[in-house]
Structure 1
């Protein structure tokens, strides 16, 4: 049988707890922020009489929801520059993807870096300027994590609702 010294056991237990505590704290903090963001989104939706049947959250920074019955889109951006919007799809004629790309050349290699990605709503009333909702901002995040796919998916979903 292996004999373990009580002092060694105490020191190693303390070291394990000390090394795990930052990860546990960060996980708790992210979960709390996520729950607060969800509560804020749900409160904003209910205040505007919108009940999203389909929604998506990404990067703990954006939340998009669609009420299929009343054809309304709810958008919420959190962070330093928060934004809340409700878009009535009955007033929209077209949804397009807006992107800003920067070209960088290093030696002979050319790279294209996405700086901004958004969905842009064009309204039936041409006096109403187009509304843009941000999907990705290159100043906030250093790399793209599927936002291009999110934008394309939501463009298709919204275009299908415009046809109905």
Structure 2
């Protein structure tokens, strides 16, 4: 028979709980934070009467939702100060990825380090810059590059449709072309 000393068992359980508790607490805190962010985005969606076809959350700081039918994009930055943007993609005429990087090292050891990653959406009335990554907030990338490419691929066809369908944009282009000629 195996003798287990109750004092040793008690100490072992306390040490085990002391190790597991911070992990559990952090995990629960992150889940609650993500849930509250999703609820916030859901409230915006409902108040705007939108239906998100695509939605993403990343880094616990950013949220993005797209209603393809109404051509509305909602971007939320949950940092300090928080920022919410509703972009009418029917007014959009161009989309591009902003990528800022700098070079480190010298000789054969040179490499590029990413400083900032964002999507820029040029609309008729305003240019919107949607931040995906900033080196001043995070020390490394965590899937932002594939995520920004995904959103670029989702948004480009919608904006391309505007070039064909939107007479206001086409009229502006026509005026710009006639001014150049």
- The two structures have a TM-score, normalised by structure 1, of 0.92
Q: Any idea what the Cα deviations from partners look like across 1:117-150, whole Å, max 9, x if unmatched?
A: 1100112x3xx33111101111101011121111
1:62 Cα shift?
A: 0.9
1:108 Cα shift?
A: 4.2
User: 2:16 aligns to what SS in structure 1?
Assistant: helix
Match of 1:145 in 2: 142
Distance in 1, Cα, partners of 2:144 & 2:38 = 19
Q: Any idea what the Cα deviations from partners look like across 1:93-129, whole Å, max 9, x if unmatched?
A: 1110011111112564112111111100112x3xx33
Match of 2:43 in 1: 43
1:73 Cα shift?
A: 0.6
Match of 1:161 in 2: 158
Match of 1:67 in 2: 67
Q: Name the structure with the higher helix share.
A: 2
Unaligned regions of 5+ residues in structure 1, if any? none
- Equivalent residue pairs, number: 161
Q: Name the structure with the higher strand share.
A: 1
Match of 1:129 in 2: 126
- The two structures have a TM-score, normalised by structure 2, of 0.84
Match of 1:119 in 2: 119
Match of 2:94 in 1: 94
User: 1:43 aligns to what SS in structure 2?
Assistant: helix
Q: Any idea what the Cα deviations from partners look like across 1:27-72, whole Å, max 9, x if unmatched?
A: 1111111111111111122222222121111111111111011111
